[in-house]
Structure 1
Amino acid sequence: MTVLVFLDPAHDDGTVADASRPQLMATDLGATRGDGIFESMLAVGGTPRKEQAHLDRLASSAAALDLTVPEAGAWSRAIRTGLREFAAAEPDRTDAVVKLIATRGVEGAGSATAWVQVSPVPASTLRQRETGLRVLFLERGYDSTVAQRAPWLLMGAKTLSYAVNMAAVRHARAHGADDVIFTSSDGKVLEGPTSTVLLAHDRDGLKTLLTPQLESGILAGTSQSALFAAAKKQGWELGYGPLEPHHLLEADAVWLISSIRLLAPVLSLDGQDLRTSTALTAELTELVDRFV
Protein backbone atom coordinates (compact mmCIF):
# COMPACT_ATOMS: atom_id res chain seq x y z
CA MET A 1 0.00 0.00 0.00
CA THR A 2 1.45 3.35 -1.08
CA VAL A 3 -0.23 6.72 -0.58
CA LEU A 4 0.59 9.75 -2.74
CA VAL A 5 -0.37 13.29 -1.77
CA PHE A 6 0.54 16.06 -4.21
CA LEU A 7 1.03 19.53 -2.81
CA ASP A 8 -1.49 21.78 -4.51
CA PRO A 9 -2.02 25.52 -3.84
CA ALA A 10 -5.73 25.01 -4.47
CA HIS A 11 -6.03 22.39 -1.71
CA ASP A 12 -4.46 23.24 1.64
CA ASP A 13 -4.13 19.61 2.76
CA GLY A 14 -2.84 18.35 -0.59
CA THR A 15 -4.49 16.20 -3.23
CA VAL A 16 -4.53 12.42 -2.81
CA ALA A 17 -3.57 10.60 -6.02
CA ASP A 18 -3.93 7.00 -7.12
CA ALA A 19 -0.48 5.44 -6.68
CA SER A 20 -1.37 2.64 -9.10
CA ARG A 21 -1.78 5.12 -11.96
CA PRO A 22 0.82 7.30 -13.75
CA GLN A 23 1.12 10.67 -12.03
CA LEU A 24 4.36 12.28 -13.22
CA MET A 25 4.79 13.99 -16.60
CA ALA A 26 7.44 12.36 -18.79
CA THR A 27 9.01 15.80 -19.27
CA ASP A 28 9.39 16.44 -15.55
CA LEU A 29 12.99 17.41 -14.85
CA GLY A 30 13.06 15.12 -11.86
CA ALA A 31 12.63 12.18 -14.22
CA THR A 32 14.76 13.41 -17.12
CA ARG A 33 17.66 14.93 -15.15
CA GLY A 34 17.31 13.88 -11.53
CA ASP A 35 16.89 17.59 -10.82
CA GLY A 36 15.20 17.61 -7.45
CA ILE A 37 15.46 16.86 -3.75
CA PHE A 38 13.92 14.51 -1.21
CA GLU A 39 13.73 13.56 2.44
CA SER A 40 12.77 10.27 4.10
CA MET A 41 11.46 10.04 7.64
CA LEU A 42 9.97 7.37 9.86
CA ALA A 43 6.43 7.72 11.18
CA VAL A 44 5.45 5.74 14.26
CA GLY A 45 1.82 5.45 15.28
CA GLY A 46 0.86 8.10 12.77
CA THR A 47 3.42 10.62 14.03
CA PRO A 48 6.42 11.57 11.89
CA ARG A 49 9.78 11.48 13.70
CA LYS A 50 12.11 14.51 13.53
CA GLU A 51 9.74 16.27 11.14
CA GLN A 52 11.18 19.75 11.67
CA ALA A 53 14.74 18.54 11.18
CA HIS A 54 13.76 16.95 7.87
CA LEU A 55 11.87 20.04 6.76
CA ASP A 56 14.89 22.18 7.63
CA ARG A 57 17.20 19.93 5.63
CA LEU A 58 14.75 19.91 2.71
CA ALA A 59 14.86 23.72 2.72
CA SER A 60 18.67 23.66 2.86
CA SER A 61 18.83 21.26 -0.11
CA ALA A 62 16.36 23.44 -2.03
CA ALA A 63 18.53 26.50 -1.41
CA ALA A 64 21.62 24.65 -2.65
CA LEU A 65 19.78 23.79 -5.89
CA ASP A 66 18.20 27.27 -6.20
CA LEU A 67 14.87 25.43 -6.22
CA THR A 68 11.63 27.04 -5.02
CA VAL A 69 9.52 24.51 -3.10
CA PRO A 70 6.33 24.77 -1.00
CA GLU A 71 6.64 26.22 2.49
CA ALA A 72 7.01 23.98 5.52
CA GLY A 73 3.36 24.26 6.60
CA ALA A 74 2.14 22.90 3.27
CA TRP A 75 4.46 19.92 3.60
CA SER A 76 3.25 19.25 7.15
CA ARG A 77 -0.39 19.30 6.10
CA ALA A 78 0.28 16.93 3.20
CA ILE A 79 2.22 14.60 5.51
CA ARG A 80 -0.76 14.34 7.83
CA THR A 81 -3.12 13.73 4.94
CA GLY A 82 -0.89 10.92 3.74
CA LEU A 83 -0.59 9.36 7.17
CA ARG A 84 -4.38 9.45 7.68
CA GLU A 85 -4.92 7.73 4.33
CA PHE A 86 -2.24 5.15 5.12
CA ALA A 87 -3.69 4.40 8.56
CA ALA A 88 -7.14 3.92 7.06
CA ALA A 89 -5.78 1.47 4.48
CA GLU A 90 -3.26 -0.29 6.77
CA PRO A 91 -4.73 -0.15 10.31
CA ASP A 92 -2.44 -2.93 11.60
CA ARG A 93 0.81 -1.18 10.63
CA THR A 94 2.34 1.10 13.25
CA ASP A 95 5.39 2.26 11.25
CA ALA A 96 5.58 3.91 7.84
CA VAL A 97 8.14 5.50 5.56
CA VAL A 98 7.28 9.11 4.68
CA LYS A 99 9.09 10.61 1.70
CA LEU A 100 9.00 14.27 0.72
CA ILE A 101 9.91 14.77 -2.94
CA ALA A 102 10.27 17.96 -4.99
CA THR A 103 11.48 18.30 -8.57
CA ARG A 104 12.11 21.34 -10.72
CA GLY A 105 8.90 20.42 -12.48
CA VAL A 106 7.88 20.04 -16.10
CA GLU A 107 10.51 21.50 -18.40
CA GLY A 108 9.58 25.08 -19.23
CA ALA A 109 6.74 25.31 -16.69
CA GLY A 110 8.77 27.19 -14.09
CA SER A 111 7.16 25.58 -11.04
CA ALA A 112 8.12 22.63 -8.86
CA THR A 113 6.36 19.30 -8.68
CA ALA A 114 6.04 18.28 -5.04
CA TRP A 115 4.48 15.31 -3.31
CA VAL A 116 4.47 13.18 -0.18
CA GLN A 117 4.70 9.39 -0.40
CA VAL A 118 3.74 7.11 2.51
CA SER A 119 4.53 3.39 2.34
CA PRO A 120 5.34 0.43 4.62
CA VAL A 121 8.82 -0.02 6.09
CA PRO A 122 10.57 -2.74 4.01
CA ALA A 123 11.08 -6.04 5.80
CA SER A 124 14.77 -6.02 4.81
CA THR A 125 15.24 -2.73 6.63
CA LEU A 126 13.74 -4.12 9.82
CA ARG A 127 15.90 -7.23 9.53
CA GLN A 128 19.15 -5.26 9.20
CA ARG A 129 18.49 -3.46 12.48
CA GLU A 130 18.53 -6.82 14.22
CA THR A 131 21.13 -8.82 12.30
CA GLY A 132 23.70 -6.13 11.52
CA LEU A 133 25.58 -5.35 8.33
CA ARG A 134 28.56 -6.58 6.37
CA VAL A 135 30.08 -3.49 4.75
CA LEU A 136 32.64 -2.64 2.07
CA PHE A 137 34.79 0.46 1.81
CA LEU A 138 34.39 2.08 -1.62
CA GLU A 139 36.15 5.21 -2.81
CA ARG A 140 33.80 8.02 -3.81
CA GLY A 141 36.33 9.56 -6.18
CA TYR A 142 36.64 13.00 -4.56
CA ASP A 143 39.00 14.27 -1.90
CA SER A 144 37.65 15.42 1.45
CA THR A 145 37.93 19.14 0.62
CA VAL A 146 36.00 19.12 -2.65
CA ALA A 147 32.73 20.33 -1.08
CA GLN A 148 34.44 23.54 0.00
CA ARG A 149 36.09 24.10 -3.40
CA ALA A 150 33.18 23.05 -5.63
CA PRO A 151 29.76 23.77 -4.07
CA TRP A 152 28.08 23.05 -7.43
CA LEU A 153 28.72 19.36 -6.80
CA LEU A 154 25.97 19.59 -4.12
CA MET A 155 27.84 17.23 -1.81
CA GLY A 156 25.83 18.29 1.26
CA ALA A 157 22.40 18.32 -0.40
CA LYS A 158 19.95 15.41 -0.51
CA THR A 159 19.20 15.31 -4.23
CA LEU A 160 17.33 12.84 -6.41
CA SER A 161 20.59 11.98 -8.21
CA TYR A 162 21.11 8.71 -6.33
CA ALA A 163 22.21 6.50 -9.23
CA VAL A 164 25.81 6.34 -7.94
CA ASN A 165 24.67 5.54 -4.40
CA MET A 166 22.43 2.71 -5.58
CA ALA A 167 25.17 1.38 -7.87
CA ALA A 168 27.47 1.23 -4.83
CA VAL A 169 24.91 -0.82 -2.88
CA ARG A 170 24.46 -3.20 -5.81
CA HIS A 171 28.23 -3.60 -6.02
CA ALA A 172 28.34 -4.47 -2.33
CA ARG A 173 25.61 -7.08 -2.67
CA ALA A 174 27.28 -8.61 -5.71
CA HIS A 175 30.39 -9.08 -3.56
CA GLY A 176 28.65 -10.65 -0.56
CA ALA A 177 28.12 -7.53 1.54
CA ASP A 178 25.05 -5.55 2.59
CA ASP A 179 26.13 -1.92 2.42
CA VAL A 180 28.94 0.54 1.76
CA ILE A 181 30.96 3.17 3.56
CA PHE A 182 32.42 5.72 1.15
CA THR A 183 35.96 7.00 1.55
CA SER A 184 37.55 10.06 -0.04
CA SER A 185 40.48 9.89 -2.43
CA ASP A 186 42.68 11.27 0.36
CA GLY A 187 41.71 8.44 2.70
CA LYS A 188 39.00 9.93 4.93
CA VAL A 189 35.84 8.11 6.01
CA LEU A 190 32.72 9.80 4.62
CA GLU A 191 29.25 8.21 4.87
CA GLY A 192 27.06 5.38 3.64
CA PRO A 193 24.93 5.72 0.49
CA THR A 194 21.86 6.24 2.70
CA SER A 195 23.34 6.53 6.19
CA THR A 196 25.75 8.22 8.59
CA VAL A 197 28.75 6.46 10.11
CA LEU A 198 29.11 6.20 13.90
CA LEU A 199 31.81 4.60 16.01
CA ALA A 200 32.33 4.30 19.74
CA HIS A 201 35.11 3.83 22.28
CA ASP A 202 34.49 2.67 25.85
CA ARG A 203 37.67 3.30 27.85
CA ASP A 204 37.65 2.96 31.65
CA GLY A 205 34.03 4.06 31.83
CA LEU A 206 34.51 7.03 29.47
CA LYS A 207 32.29 6.51 26.43
CA THR A 208 32.99 8.45 23.25
CA LEU A 209 30.80 8.60 20.15
CA LEU A 210 32.36 9.82 16.90
CA THR A 211 31.18 10.60 13.37
CA PRO A 212 32.91 12.01 10.26
CA GLN A 213 33.16 15.78 10.00
CA LEU A 214 30.60 17.60 7.85
CA GLU A 215 33.32 19.63 6.16
CA SER A 216 34.37 16.47 4.30
CA GLY A 217 31.33 16.83 2.04
CA ILE A 218 28.79 14.52 3.66
CA LEU A 219 25.08 14.98 4.25
CA ALA A 220 24.19 16.26 7.69
CA GLY A 221 22.45 13.31 9.36
CA THR A 222 19.24 14.18 11.19
CA SER A 223 19.33 10.91 13.16
CA GLN A 224 23.01 11.29 14.01
CA SER A 225 22.41 14.83 15.23
CA ALA A 226 19.47 13.82 17.43
CA LEU A 227 21.37 10.85 18.84
CA PHE A 228 24.41 13.00 19.64
CA ALA A 229 22.23 15.46 21.54
CA ALA A 230 20.66 12.63 23.56
CA ALA A 231 24.00 10.88 24.19
CA LYS A 232 25.62 14.08 25.43
CA LYS A 233 22.93 14.39 28.10
CA GLN A 234 23.75 10.83 29.17
CA GLY A 235 27.42 11.69 29.70
CA TRP A 236 28.91 10.57 26.39
CA GLU A 237 31.85 12.47 24.91
CA LEU A 238 31.31 13.46 21.27
CA GLY A 239 33.73 13.79 18.36
CA TYR A 240 33.56 14.85 14.73
CA GLY A 241 36.43 13.31 12.74
CA PRO A 242 38.39 13.49 10.61
CA LEU A 243 38.23 9.70 10.56
CA GLU A 244 40.25 7.20 8.57
CA PRO A 245 39.46 3.50 7.94
CA HIS A 246 41.80 2.34 10.71
CA HIS A 247 39.74 4.27 13.27
CA LEU A 248 36.73 2.06 12.45
CA LEU A 249 38.83 -1.10 12.61
CA GLU A 250 40.13 -0.08 16.05
CA ALA A 251 36.76 1.01 17.51
CA ASP A 252 34.79 -0.88 20.15
CA ALA A 253 31.71 -0.74 17.91
CA VAL A 254 30.64 0.76 14.57
CA TRP A 255 27.13 1.49 13.30
CA LEU A 256 25.32 2.97 10.36
CA ILE A 257 22.39 5.18 11.33
CA SER A 258 19.56 6.55 9.19
CA SER A 259 16.02 7.76 9.64
CA ILE A 260 14.33 4.56 8.44
CA ARG A 261 16.73 1.75 9.30
CA LEU A 262 17.76 3.55 12.51
CA LEU A 263 20.82 2.06 14.25
CA ALA A 264 22.39 -0.97 12.55
CA PRO A 265 25.64 -2.55 13.84
CA VAL A 266 28.48 -3.04 11.36
CA LEU A 267 29.79 -6.59 11.73
CA SER A 268 32.63 -6.53 9.22
CA LEU A 269 34.51 -4.18 6.90
CA ASP A 270 36.02 -5.54 3.70
CA GLY A 271 35.66 -9.02 5.16
CA GLN A 272 37.48 -8.18 8.41
CA ASP A 273 35.38 -8.81 11.51
CA LEU A 274 34.89 -5.80 13.77
CA ARG A 275 34.48 -5.61 17.49
CA THR A 276 30.83 -5.27 18.43
CA SER A 277 29.24 -4.42 21.75
CA THR A 278 25.82 -5.67 22.73
CA ALA A 279 25.81 -3.30 25.70
CA LEU A 280 26.70 -0.18 23.70
CA THR A 281 24.25 -1.09 20.95
CA ALA A 282 21.47 -1.61 23.49
CA GLU A 283 22.23 1.70 25.21
CA LEU A 284 22.28 3.68 21.97
CA THR A 285 19.24 1.86 20.60
CA GLU A 286 17.30 2.91 23.68
CA LEU A 287 18.32 6.53 23.04
CA VAL A 288 17.32 6.19 19.39
CA ASP A 289 13.91 4.82 20.36
CA ARG A 290 13.35 7.64 22.86
CA PHE A 291 14.83 10.64 21.09
CA VAL A 292 15.41 9.84 17.43
Structure 2
Amino acid sequence: MEPLVLYVLDLASGAAPDLALRRVPARETVLTATDLSATRGDGVFETVLVVDGTPQALEEHLDRFARSAALLDLPDPRRDLWRHAVLTAAAELGTLRPRAAIKFVLSRGDEAGDGAGTGWLLGFAPSAPPAAPPAPIDVVLLDRGYRHDVAQTSPWLLQGAKTLSYAVNMAALREARRRGAQDVVFVSSDGFVLEGPTSTLIVRIDGGYLTPPPDLGILPGTTQADVFAALRGWGEQVATRRLTVPDLLGADAVWLCSSTRGAAAVRSIDGTEFAVDDVLTERLRDHLDARRK
Protein backbone atom coordinates (compact mmCIF):
# COMPACT_ATOMS: atom_id res chain seq x y z
CA MET A 1 0.00 0.00 0.00
CA GLU A 2 1.39 3.38 -1.03
CA PRO A 3 0.06 6.29 1.12
CA LEU A 4 -0.90 9.24 -1.08
CA VAL A 5 -3.07 11.64 0.92
CA LEU A 6 -4.02 11.97 4.58
CA TYR A 7 -6.76 14.05 6.19
CA VAL A 8 -7.63 14.46 9.87
CA LEU A 9 -11.14 15.38 11.02
CA ASP A 10 -12.03 17.65 13.93
CA LEU A 11 -14.89 15.69 15.48
CA ALA A 12 -15.29 17.77 18.63
CA SER A 13 -15.88 21.31 17.38
CA GLY A 14 -19.09 20.88 15.38
CA ALA A 15 -17.54 23.13 12.72
CA ALA A 16 -18.72 23.19 9.11
CA PRO A 17 -17.27 20.31 7.04
CA ASP A 18 -14.74 22.45 5.18
CA LEU A 19 -13.44 23.87 8.47
CA ALA A 20 -13.34 20.52 10.28
CA LEU A 21 -11.02 18.87 7.74
CA ARG A 22 -7.23 19.26 7.80
CA ARG A 23 -4.80 18.01 5.14
CA VAL A 24 -1.53 16.68 6.55
CA PRO A 25 1.50 14.99 4.95
CA ALA A 26 0.64 11.43 3.98
CA ARG A 27 3.10 9.86 6.44
CA GLU A 28 2.61 12.28 9.31
CA THR A 29 1.86 10.82 12.75
CA VAL A 30 -1.75 11.59 13.67
CA LEU A 31 -2.45 9.28 16.65
CA THR A 32 -1.32 9.36 20.26
CA ALA A 33 0.15 6.21 21.78
CA THR A 34 -2.93 6.07 24.03
CA ASP A 35 -5.53 6.28 21.26
CA LEU A 36 -7.92 3.37 21.73
CA SER A 37 -7.69 2.43 18.04
CA ALA A 38 -4.02 1.58 18.62
CA THR A 39 -4.24 0.07 22.11
CA ARG A 40 -7.57 -1.80 21.83
CA GLY A 41 -8.59 -1.82 18.15
CA ASP A 42 -11.64 0.13 19.36
CA GLY A 43 -13.08 1.76 16.28
CA VAL A 44 -14.68 1.22 12.88
CA PHE A 45 -13.66 1.84 9.29
CA GLU A 46 -14.66 1.62 5.64
CA THR A 47 -12.59 1.33 2.47
CA VAL A 48 -13.92 2.96 -0.70
CA LEU A 49 -12.60 2.39 -4.20
CA VAL A 50 -11.84 5.60 -6.11
CA VAL A 51 -11.90 5.53 -9.91
CA ASP A 52 -10.86 8.72 -11.75
CA GLY A 53 -11.52 10.78 -8.62
CA THR A 54 -14.99 9.33 -7.94
CA PRO A 55 -15.60 7.27 -4.77
CA GLN A 56 -17.68 4.20 -5.58
CA ALA A 57 -20.87 3.36 -3.61
CA LEU A 58 -20.11 6.14 -1.14
CA GLU A 59 -23.59 6.39 0.38
CA GLU A 60 -23.71 2.63 0.97
CA HIS A 61 -20.32 2.79 2.69
CA LEU A 62 -21.52 5.69 4.86
CA ASP A 63 -24.63 3.67 5.78
CA ARG A 64 -22.49 0.74 6.88
CA PHE A 65 -20.07 3.06 8.70
CA ALA A 66 -22.92 4.47 10.78
CA ARG A 67 -24.29 0.98 11.46
CA SER A 68 -20.90 -0.25 12.66
CA ALA A 69 -20.48 2.83 14.87
CA ALA A 70 -23.88 2.20 16.46
CA LEU A 71 -22.99 -1.44 17.18
CA LEU A 72 -19.89 -0.24 19.05
CA ASP A 73 -21.74 2.57 20.89
CA LEU A 74 -19.49 5.13 19.18
CA PRO A 75 -20.64 8.70 18.51
CA ASP A 76 -22.95 8.87 15.51
CA PRO A 77 -20.74 9.91 12.55
CA ARG A 78 -21.74 13.27 11.06
CA ARG A 79 -22.68 12.16 7.57
CA ASP A 80 -22.14 15.59 6.00
CA LEU A 81 -18.65 15.80 7.47
CA TRP A 82 -17.53 12.31 6.47
CA ARG A 83 -19.06 12.65 3.00
CA HIS A 84 -17.25 15.96 2.44
CA ALA A 85 -14.00 14.45 3.69
CA VAL A 86 -14.19 11.44 1.36
CA LEU A 87 -15.14 13.56 -1.65
CA THR A 88 -12.29 15.98 -0.93
CA ALA A 89 -9.73 13.20 -0.61
CA ALA A 90 -11.11 11.44 -3.71
CA ALA A 91 -10.81 14.59 -5.80
CA GLU A 92 -7.16 14.90 -4.83
CA LEU A 93 -6.51 11.22 -5.50
CA GLY A 94 -8.00 11.67 -8.96
CA THR A 95 -5.12 13.98 -9.83
CA LEU A 96 -2.58 11.37 -8.69
CA ARG A 97 -3.89 7.95 -9.77
CA PRO A 98 -6.71 6.71 -12.03
CA ARG A 99 -7.46 3.97 -9.50
CA ALA A 100 -6.94 4.26 -5.74
CA ALA A 101 -8.80 3.79 -2.47
CA ILE A 102 -9.70 5.65 0.71
CA LYS A 103 -9.77 4.10 4.17
CA PHE A 104 -11.76 6.25 6.59
CA VAL A 105 -11.61 5.52 10.30
CA LEU A 106 -13.52 6.49 13.45
CA SER A 107 -11.75 5.59 16.69
CA ARG A 108 -13.14 5.95 20.20
CA GLY A 109 -10.22 8.32 20.66
CA ASP A 110 -7.66 8.91 23.36
CA GLU A 111 -8.20 7.16 26.70
CA ALA A 112 -8.19 10.55 28.42
CA GLY A 113 -10.00 12.36 25.61
CA ASP A 114 -13.28 14.25 25.40
CA GLY A 115 -15.33 11.36 24.01
CA ALA A 116 -15.69 12.87 20.53
CA GLY A 117 -13.36 10.27 19.05
CA THR A 118 -10.58 10.43 16.48
CA GLY A 119 -11.23 10.51 12.74
CA TRP A 120 -8.96 10.32 9.74
CA LEU A 121 -8.85 9.31 6.07
CA LEU A 122 -5.95 7.71 4.24
CA GLY A 123 -5.95 7.72 0.46
CA PHE A 124 -3.69 5.06 -0.97
CA ALA A 125 -2.73 3.10 -4.07
CA PRO A 126 -2.01 -0.64 -4.06
CA SER A 127 1.66 -1.61 -3.96
CA ALA A 128 1.18 -3.19 -7.39
CA PRO A 129 -1.53 -2.48 -9.97
CA PRO A 130 -4.30 -5.10 -10.06
CA ALA A 131 -4.26 -7.68 -12.80
CA ALA A 132 -6.80 -7.11 -15.56
CA PRO A 133 -8.63 -9.40 -15.15
CA PRO A 134 -7.36 -10.74 -11.79
CA ALA A 135 -6.27 -14.35 -11.73
CA PRO A 136 -8.83 -16.80 -10.30
CA ILE A 137 -8.15 -17.66 -6.68
CA ASP A 138 -7.96 -20.78 -4.53
CA VAL A 139 -9.90 -20.69 -1.27
CA VAL A 140 -10.06 -22.73 1.93
CA LEU A 141 -12.98 -23.12 4.35
CA LEU A 142 -12.26 -22.15 7.97
CA ASP A 143 -14.56 -22.51 10.98
CA ARG A 144 -15.30 -19.10 12.48
CA GLY A 145 -16.17 -20.80 15.77
CA TYR A 146 -19.64 -19.29 16.24
CA ARG A 147 -23.12 -20.58 15.47
CA HIS A 148 -25.00 -18.99 12.58
CA ASP A 149 -27.25 -17.05 15.01
CA VAL A 150 -24.44 -15.46 17.03
CA ALA A 151 -25.47 -11.91 16.03
CA GLN A 152 -28.81 -12.47 17.78
CA THR A 153 -27.65 -14.53 20.77
CA SER A 154 -24.43 -12.62 21.52
CA PRO A 155 -24.49 -9.10 20.01
CA TRP A 156 -21.51 -8.06 22.16
CA LEU A 157 -19.31 -10.18 19.89
CA LEU A 158 -19.91 -7.49 17.24
CA GLN A 159 -20.39 -9.86 14.33
CA GLY A 160 -21.48 -7.78 11.35
CA ALA A 161 -19.61 -4.63 12.45
CA LYS A 162 -16.60 -3.47 10.42
CA THR A 163 -14.25 -2.90 13.34
CA LEU A 164 -10.54 -2.17 13.50
CA SER A 165 -10.00 -5.52 15.28
CA TYR A 166 -8.77 -7.41 12.21
CA ALA A 167 -6.21 -9.71 13.84
CA VAL A 168 -8.43 -12.79 13.38
CA ASN A 169 -9.10 -11.95 9.72
CA MET A 170 -5.40 -11.52 9.02
CA ALA A 171 -4.61 -14.78 10.84
CA ALA A 172 -7.17 -16.55 8.64
CA LEU A 173 -5.50 -15.23 5.48
CA ARG A 174 -2.11 -16.39 6.74
CA GLU A 175 -3.60 -19.85 7.35
CA ALA A 176 -4.90 -19.85 3.79
CA ARG A 177 -1.41 -19.14 2.49
CA ARG A 178 0.01 -21.94 4.64
CA ARG A 179 -2.47 -24.25 2.92
CA GLY A 180 -1.46 -23.06 -0.54
CA ALA A 181 -4.52 -20.86 -1.11
CA GLN A 182 -5.06 -17.12 -1.43
CA ASP A 183 -8.29 -16.54 0.47
CA VAL A 184 -10.83 -17.90 2.95
CA VAL A 185 -14.55 -18.48 3.27
CA PHE A 186 -15.67 -18.65 6.89
CA VAL A 187 -18.21 -21.24 7.98
CA SER A 188 -20.33 -21.17 11.13
CA SER A 189 -19.81 -23.92 13.70
CA ASP A 190 -23.18 -25.40 12.66
CA GLY A 191 -22.34 -25.55 8.96
CA PHE A 192 -23.59 -22.35 7.32
CA VAL A 193 -21.45 -20.48 4.80
CA LEU A 194 -20.63 -16.90 5.85
CA GLU A 195 -18.12 -14.55 4.16
CA GLY A 196 -14.43 -14.00 3.53
CA PRO A 197 -12.13 -12.10 5.91
CA THR A 198 -12.35 -9.06 3.61
CA SER A 199 -15.01 -10.06 1.10
CA THR A 200 -18.60 -11.15 0.43
CA LEU A 201 -19.51 -14.45 -1.22
CA ILE A 202 -21.61 -14.85 -4.38
CA VAL A 203 -22.41 -18.29 -5.84
CA ARG A 204 -24.22 -19.39 -8.97
CA ILE A 205 -26.48 -22.40 -8.45
CA ASP A 206 -28.81 -23.70 -11.18
CA GLY A 207 -28.39 -20.44 -13.09
CA GLY A 208 -29.34 -18.15 -10.18
CA TYR A 209 -27.02 -15.98 -8.10
CA LEU A 210 -27.07 -16.23 -4.29
CA THR A 211 -25.36 -14.60 -1.32
CA PRO A 212 -25.67 -15.34 2.42
CA PRO A 213 -27.89 -12.98 4.46
CA PRO A 214 -26.53 -10.37 6.93
CA ASP A 215 -28.53 -11.93 9.78
CA LEU A 216 -25.78 -14.57 9.95
CA GLY A 217 -23.54 -11.91 11.50
CA ILE A 218 -21.78 -10.91 8.28
CA LEU A 219 -21.16 -7.54 6.73
CA PRO A 220 -23.67 -6.36 4.11
CA GLY A 221 -21.46 -6.20 1.01
CA THR A 222 -21.53 -2.92 -0.90
CA THR A 223 -19.80 -4.47 -3.92
CA GLN A 224 -22.04 -7.53 -3.73
CA ALA A 225 -25.08 -5.22 -3.79
CA ASP A 226 -23.79 -3.50 -6.94
CA VAL A 227 -23.06 -6.88 -8.56
CA PHE A 228 -26.62 -8.00 -7.82
CA ALA A 229 -28.00 -4.75 -9.23
CA ALA A 230 -26.05 -5.37 -12.45
CA LEU A 231 -27.19 -8.98 -12.68
CA ARG A 232 -30.84 -7.99 -12.19
CA GLY A 233 -30.45 -5.41 -14.92
CA TRP A 234 -29.13 -8.11 -17.23
CA GLY A 235 -32.17 -10.29 -16.55
CA GLU A 236 -30.53 -12.71 -14.11
CA GLN A 237 -32.15 -14.11 -10.96
CA VAL A 238 -30.56 -13.05 -7.66
CA ALA A 239 -31.48 -13.89 -4.07
CA THR A 240 -30.21 -13.77 -0.50
CA ARG A 241 -30.51 -17.02 1.45
CA ARG A 242 -28.66 -19.31 3.80
CA LEU A 243 -26.19 -21.68 2.20
CA THR A 244 -24.61 -24.84 3.59
CA VAL A 245 -21.18 -26.18 2.76
CA PRO A 246 -22.68 -28.80 0.36
CA ASP A 247 -24.56 -25.95 -1.36
CA LEU A 248 -21.30 -24.06 -1.80
CA LEU A 249 -19.25 -27.02 -3.02
CA GLY A 250 -22.02 -27.92 -5.48
CA ALA A 251 -22.20 -24.42 -7.00
CA ASP A 252 -21.67 -23.79 -10.71
CA ALA A 253 -19.38 -20.79 -10.09
CA VAL A 254 -18.18 -18.71 -7.12
CA TRP A 255 -16.92 -15.15 -6.62
CA LEU A 256 -15.55 -13.17 -3.68
CA CYS A 257 -16.42 -9.46 -3.84
CA SER A 258 -14.78 -6.49 -2.15
CA SER A 259 -14.41 -2.77 -2.79
CA THR A 260 -10.79 -2.76 -3.88
CA ARG A 261 -10.75 -6.13 -5.66
CA GLY A 262 -14.15 -6.09 -7.34
CA ALA A 263 -15.48 -9.55 -8.23
CA ALA A 264 -12.73 -12.17 -7.97
CA ALA A 265 -13.51 -15.56 -9.51
CA VAL A 266 -12.84 -18.61 -7.33
CA ARG A 267 -11.01 -21.51 -8.97
CA SER A 268 -11.18 -24.00 -6.11
CA ILE A 269 -12.40 -24.43 -2.52
CA ASP A 270 -10.64 -27.02 -0.36
CA GLY A 271 -9.52 -28.74 -3.55
CA THR A 272 -12.97 -28.81 -5.18
CA GLU A 273 -12.57 -27.14 -8.57
CA PHE A 274 -15.07 -24.75 -10.14
CA ALA A 275 -15.61 -23.55 -13.67
CA VAL A 276 -14.34 -19.99 -14.03
CA ASP A 277 -16.67 -17.73 -16.01
CA ASP A 278 -14.12 -15.32 -17.43
CA VAL A 279 -16.68 -13.54 -19.61
CA LEU A 280 -19.04 -12.70 -16.74
CA THR A 281 -16.17 -11.85 -14.39
CA GLU A 282 -14.80 -9.32 -16.87
CA ARG A 283 -18.28 -7.93 -17.50
CA LEU A 284 -18.79 -7.45 -13.74
CA ARG A 285 -15.39 -5.82 -13.43
CA ASP A 286 -16.23 -3.36 -16.19
CA HIS A 287 -19.58 -2.59 -14.56
CA LEU A 288 -18.00 -1.95 -11.17
CA ASP A 289 -15.30 0.30 -12.63
CA ALA A 290 -17.93 2.29 -14.52
CA ARG A 291 -19.94 3.23 -11.40
CA ARG A 292 -20.28 6.95 -10.83
CA LYS A 293 -21.91 7.21 -7.42
Residue 49 of structure 2 corresponds to which residue in structure 1?
42
Alignment correspondent of 2:64: 57
8 Å Cα contact 1:227-1:291 kept in structure 2: no
| Structure 2 residues not aligned, in runs of 5+ | none
1:253 and 1:29 map into 2 onto residues whose CA distance is 42
Partner of 1:256: 256
| Percentage of identical aligned residues | 46
Q: Which amino acid letter does the alignment assign opposite residue 239 of structure 1?
A: A
Q: Which residue of 2 aligns with 1:159?
A: 163
The structure where helix makes up a greater share of residues is 1
Distance 2:284 2:245 in 1: 22
- Shift in Å, 1:29: 0.6
TM-score of the two chains, using structure 1 as the length reference: 0.91
Tell me how far apart the structure 1 counterparts of residues 154 and 133 of structure 2 sit (CA, whole Å): 35
- 1:182 pairs, out of 183, 186, 204, with 186
State the Cα RMSD in Å: 1.9
Residue in 2 that maps onto 1:117: 122
Say which SS state the counterpart of residue 131 (structure 2) adopts.
Answer: helix
**What's the counterpart of residue 228 of structure 1?**
228
Kindly tell me: are residues 28 and 200 of structure 1, through their superposed partners in 2, closer, same or farther at Cα, counting changes over 3 Å? same
Which aligned pairs between 1:91-110 and structure 2 lie closer than 5 A? 93-109=97-113, 110=115
Q: CA deviation at 1:21?
A: 2.8
CA drift of 1:272 comes to: 2.4
Amino acid at match of 1:3: V
Q: Residue 7 of structure 1 corresponds to which residue in structure 2?
A: 9
Counterpart residue number, 1:213: 213
Q: Which deviates more, 60-69 or 34-43?
A: 60-69
Instruction: Tell me which amino acid in the other structure corresponds to 2:52.
Output: G
Instruction: Provide Cα deviations, 1:3-61, integer angstroms capped at 9, x if missing partner.
Output: 11011245733101223232210000111111000000101110100010001110111
Asked if 2 retains the 8 angstrom alpha-carbon contact of 1:129 and 1:262, the reply is no
How many Å separate the matches in 2 of 1:229 and 1:252? 20
Q: Mark the CA change 1:11 to 1:214 in structure 2 (over 3 Å): closer, same or farther.
A: closer
Check the 8 A contact 1:182/1:191 in 2, yes or no: yes
- Name the aligned partner's letter for residue 270 of structure 2: D
CA-to-aligned-CA distance 1:211-232 (integer Å, 9 cap, x gap): 1122111111011112212222
Letter in 1 for 2:4: T
